[in-house]
Amino acid sequence: MLPPSDSPPGKRLRVLHSFPHRLGKSRICTTAWHEIDSVAEAGAEMTVLAGDSVRPFQRPLRMKTTLAWRSLRWPYRLLGTRLTCALHDWKVAQHLPAMAGKIDIIHAWPLGALHTMRAAKKLGIPVALERCNAHTRFAYQVVKEECDRIGVPLPHDHEHAYNEGVLRREEAEYAMADGILCPSEFVRHTFLDAGFPDEKLMRFIYGVDEKRFHPEPRHAPASLGLKMVFVGVCAVRKGLHFALEAWLNSEACKDGQFQIAGDFIPGYRAYLESRLAHPSVKVLGHRDDIPMLMRESDLFVLPSIEEGFGLVCTEAMASGCVPLVSDACTDLCRHLDNSMVHRVANVAALTDHINQLHRNRELLFHLRAAGLRAVPEISWKVAGHSLLGAYRQIVDLKNTPSKRLALAH
């Protein structure tokens, strides 16, 4: 059970967020920053232990870095993700005894949670483990199968290349966590399929930064060609090869443009070279002006074979750009409501969706408008409340003996 608390029921939940990377940097580092800030806004009392932080928070909270001191910074790239996360994890575990009775729940991240969980269990503090992608074993398997199918090997150090040590550690974290935070139904189902009880899998969502992603009025004549954009790492997992095949099979490629913003993993660009050479396809490389690219585009495409949430999908919606996505992406994209959704690897369906929007601009404008109307429901403010609700479920589960017994079996 939880240690004695000076925070009576109904009062602010006291959360320790343990993040092993640099808060405020790109990708998950930006996501984690927004999570912390939005949960603080939702009413949680936040304490943050992060490897490092490069962006100040808007809400009042307690912050301490584990891998940075004054001007000294831990050499992340030199020493690698696993060692960095392990050191942060060990340091957080050392802090925990002094925090007993002062926190109600810990939010931890993959590869940086095992020591923290062991220390927390001795103190009776529940731990929520964020899973920003599908179950690791599933992700390894489906990405390998698709790489083998098209003949593009993954670099040995790629995050989705099979790594027994990473898998073993992450599966140990899954088993020890009191609750696993799942940002989408796709993620939740990969854990259900792996035998995890539904009670342990807590749904929440990521939000959209409305200050960065917003629309511009657009009154393009129906005669103009469609503009479609892909944003992200150009990797087999993201299904860019499906997107290119569908685009080049569609009517839209005759007078439209498909822009690709992102860097390619080794070997993948060579595999796609003939398709990338088509005059309607423009490879932009890495870009820092993604919100502008989305605002200027009609369609956003993401035919991933594995995702955690697909934050770029909702960013596209908020920019007035209609998502064409696989069903591995966020369930906030709803077919023929605010998006068009196809089954993973179904190129024919994706081609048909592009053709429908090429021929029917009224449908395009309907989906665009519906996506923009949904933005208040997918803001970071709403996401903060959804995460706070997941924390409360995990605390309740930890404090209810009958629920704990059912979960153990």
Q: Centre a 10 Å sphere on the Cβ of residue 346 and count the other Cβ atoms it contains.
A: 16
* Residue 270 pLDDT level (bands cut at 50, 70, 90): very high
pLDDT at 325: 98
Of the candidate ranges 82-86, 176-180, 384-388, the one whose mean pLDDT is the lowest: 82-86
pLDDT at 5: 35
pLDDT at 2: 29
Which architecture does CATH list for 227-377?
Answer: 3-Layer(aba) Sandwich (3.40)
Tokens of 125: 């503090």
Q: Which residue's structure tokens are 């929007």? A: 357
Tokens of 186: 């796709």
Q: Where are the domains of the chain?
A: 14-207+380-408, 227-377
Cβ atoms of 228 and 256 within 8 Å: the answer is: yes
pLDDT at 1: 27
Q: What is the mean pLDDT of residues 122-128?
A: 97
Question: Does the CA dihedral 189-263-332-25 come out positive or negative?
Answer: positive
pLDDT digits (tens, 9 = 90+) for 129-179: 999 999 999 999 999 999 999 999 998 888 899 999 999 999 999 999 999
* Residue 183 pLDDT level (bands cut at 50, 70, 90): very high
* Residue 403 pLDDT level (bands cut at 50, 70, 90): low
Looking at every residue in the chain, the average pLDDT score rounds to: 92
Checking if the pLDDT of 189 tops 70, the result is: yes
> Check: CATH 3.40.50.2000 for 14-207+380-408?
yes
294: Cβ contacts below 8 Å, ≥ 6 apart: 213, 229, 231, 300, 315, 316, 319, 320, 321
Checking if the pLDDT of 212 tops 70, the result is: yes
pLDDT digits (tens, 9 = 90+) for 19-74: 999 999 988 999 999 999 999 999 999 999 999 999 999 999 999 999 988 777 77
Q: Which of 172, 157, 320, 307 is nearest to 238 (CA)?
A: 307
Whether 14-207+380-408 shares its CATH topology with 227-377 is answered yes
For residue 19, give the H/E element and its range. strand 14-23
Checking if the pLDDT of 18 tops 70, the result is: yes
- Burial label for 1, CB within 10 Å (0-12, 13-18, 19+), is exposed
355: Cβ contacts below 8 Å, ≥ 6 apart: 250, 251, 252
β-pair partners for 258 = 228, 281
pTM, two decimal places: 0.91
% the chain with pLDDT above 90 = 86
